[in-house]
């Protein structure tokens, strides 16, 4: 084999959404924190992300997680979350995929019936609690970063759509939460192209007129996700279509999106205490979420959410780069 790069991976999917867990071949990225490592990666190593998520090794909805040494004394691993849109501060479905891979590959000390995995992410510490039986990761509950509702009942003028009302919430990434019925969009996969187009227009308009910025970390900013909430949703049982930049849907219910939605439900008084939120995806898979603590982010009230979901291993691979390959960073079709 002629290859200038060999990247080892365990491929997984979380409730339908892929996570390519990179276990070797990258080396330690410079930085004392995962936020610093994320910045260094974006500025100097982004070609590696493109190689792994773009065609021909990936696809238009590919995402992954690059394992790193922990940046804290008690952490098991650090994680950088990659996808076609760039590097995320945090990824819920990706964390569930990572935790499942670490348990089933024996890369952390495994205890039954519960194994705790402490992960350092660019958004902060995330703890994954894995339910294990006979060495199998049955489900993962992750304690996510503090999540908050940035503001409610915003209006933005969107070309081709007119005035769009949305709530903005943060759950590790920023999410604009929109009622598709107000835009005349049926909540139906038969209309997915119209919904996705609307989502991309809304993202662009929000980022141009009122770009969200995290209250405590200005490196986390911008809206790359629009959560279209099924008008038939109930306060404790929701369904969403998650449109994501640059043009795809999350197949899972979206972990950080579910965290943001939970924060929004609390802010609107639709849920209280530790009531469980069931959130279904556009393909009818499910995450369960609840607030286990209240806290603040900046001066804003916030919750600490847990998200429970399942992931499955789909394969292992070594990804290569032949020096003569005409697509050293893959391509976008």
**CA–CA distance, 212 with 223 (Å, rounded to integer):** 7
- Answer for the pair 124, 33: CB distance below 8 angstroms, yes or no: no
The arithmetic mean of pLDDT across residues 297-301, rounded, is: 96
Please determine, for residue 1, whether its predicted confidence score (pLDDT) is greater than 80: no
> What confidence score (pLDDT) does residue 285 get?
98
> What confidence score (pLDDT) does residue 2 get?
80
Residues annotated as catalytic are 91, 254
The arithmetic mean of pLDDT across residues 214-237, rounded, is: 96
For the chain, percent of residues with pLDDT exceeding 70: 100
Single out the residue of 272, 239, 275 nearest to residue 257, CA to CA: 239
> What confidence score (pLDDT) does residue 315 get?
97
For residue 274, CA distances in Å to 39, 219, 271, 282, 294 come to 35, 30, 8, 25, 10
> What confidence score (pLDDT) does residue 293 get?
97
Please determine, for residue 34, whether its predicted confidence score (pLDDT) is greater than 80: yes
Q: Note the pTM of the prediction, 2 decimals.
A: 0.94
- CA-CA-CA-CA dihedral for 180, 183, 186, 189, to nearest 10: -70
Single out the residue of 107, 132, 173, 52 nearest to residue 311, CA to CA: 132
Q: For 191-204, what is each residue's pLDDT tens digit?
A: 999 999 999 999 99
Predicted confidence band of residue 333 (pLDDT cuts 50, 70, 90): confident
- Answer for the pair 126, 97: CB distance below 8 angstroms, yes or no: no
For the chain, percent of residues with pLDDT exceeding 90: 97
Pull the structure tokens for residue 4.
């200038």
**Contacts by 105-111, CB closer than 8 A, 24 or more apart:** 105/10, 105/23, 107/23, 108/76, 108/77, 110/135
> What confidence score (pLDDT) does residue 110 get?
97
> What confidence score (pLDDT) does residue 103 get?
98
**CA–CA distance, 281 with 230 (Å, rounded to integer):** 10
**CA–CA distance, 302 with 140 (Å, rounded to integer):** 23
The arithmetic mean of pLDDT across residues 275-293, rounded, is: 98
**CA–CA distance, 312 with 124 (Å, rounded to integer):** 25
- Answer for the pair 171, 95: CB distance below 8 angstroms, yes or no: no
Please determine, for residue 244, whether its predicted confidence score (pLDDT) is greater than 80: yes
> What confidence score (pLDDT) does residue 3 get?
84
Please determine, for residue 69, whether its predicted confidence score (pLDDT) is greater than 80: yes
Q: For 148-202, what is each residue's pLDDT tens digit?
A: 999 999 999 999 999 999 999 999 999 999 999 999 999 999 999 999 999 999 9
**CA–CA distance, 109 with 116 (Å, rounded to integer):** 9
Q: For 104-155, what is each residue's pLDDT tens digit?
A: 999 999 999 999 999 999 999 999 999 999 999 999 999 999 999 999 999 9
- Answer for the pair 178, 169: CB distance below 8 angstroms, yes or no: no
**CA–CA distance, 95 with 98 (Å, rounded to integer):** 5
């Amino acid at each position: 084999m002629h290859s200038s790069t060999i990247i080892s991976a365990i491929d997984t999917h979380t409730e339908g959404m892929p996570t390519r867990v990179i276990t070797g071949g990258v080396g330690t990225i410079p930085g004392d924190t995962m936020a610093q490592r994320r910045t260094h990666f974006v500025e100097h190593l982004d070609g590696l992300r493109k190689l792994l998520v773009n065609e021909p090794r990936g696809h238009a909805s590919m995402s992954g997680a690059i394992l790193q040494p922990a940046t804290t004394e008690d952490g098991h691993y650090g994680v950088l979350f990659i996808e076609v849109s760039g590097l995320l501060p945090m990824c819920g479905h990706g964390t569930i995929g990572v935790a499942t891979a670490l348990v089933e590959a024996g890369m952390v000390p495994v205890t039954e019936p519960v194994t705790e995995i402490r992960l350092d992410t660019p958004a902060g510490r995330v703890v994954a609690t894995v339910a294990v039986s006979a060495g199998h990761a049955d489900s993962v509950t992750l304690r996510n970063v503090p999540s908050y509702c940035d503001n409610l009942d915003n209006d933005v003028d969107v070309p081709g759509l007119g005035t769009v009302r949305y709530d903005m919430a943060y759950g590790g990434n920023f999410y604009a939460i929109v009622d598709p019925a107000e835009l005349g969009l049926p909540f139906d996969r038969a209309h997915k192209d119209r919904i996705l187009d609307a989502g991309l227009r809304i993202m662009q308009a929000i980022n141009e007129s009122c770009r969200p910025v995290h209250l405590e970390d200005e490196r986390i900013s911008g809206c790359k996700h629009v959560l279209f909430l099924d008008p038939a949703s109930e306060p404790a049982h929701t369904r969403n279509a998650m449109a994501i930049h640059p043009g795809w849907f999350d197949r899972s219910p979206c972990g950080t999106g579910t965290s943001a939605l939970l924060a929004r439900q609390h802010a609107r008084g639709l849920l209280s205490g530790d009531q469980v939120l069931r959130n279904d995806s556009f393909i009818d898979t499910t995450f369960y979420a609840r607030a286990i603590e209240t806290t603040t982010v900046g001066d804003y009230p916030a919750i600490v959410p847990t998200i429970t979901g399942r992931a499955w291993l789909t394969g292992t691979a070594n990804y290569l780069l032949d020096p003569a390959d005409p697509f050293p960073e893959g391509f976008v079709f």
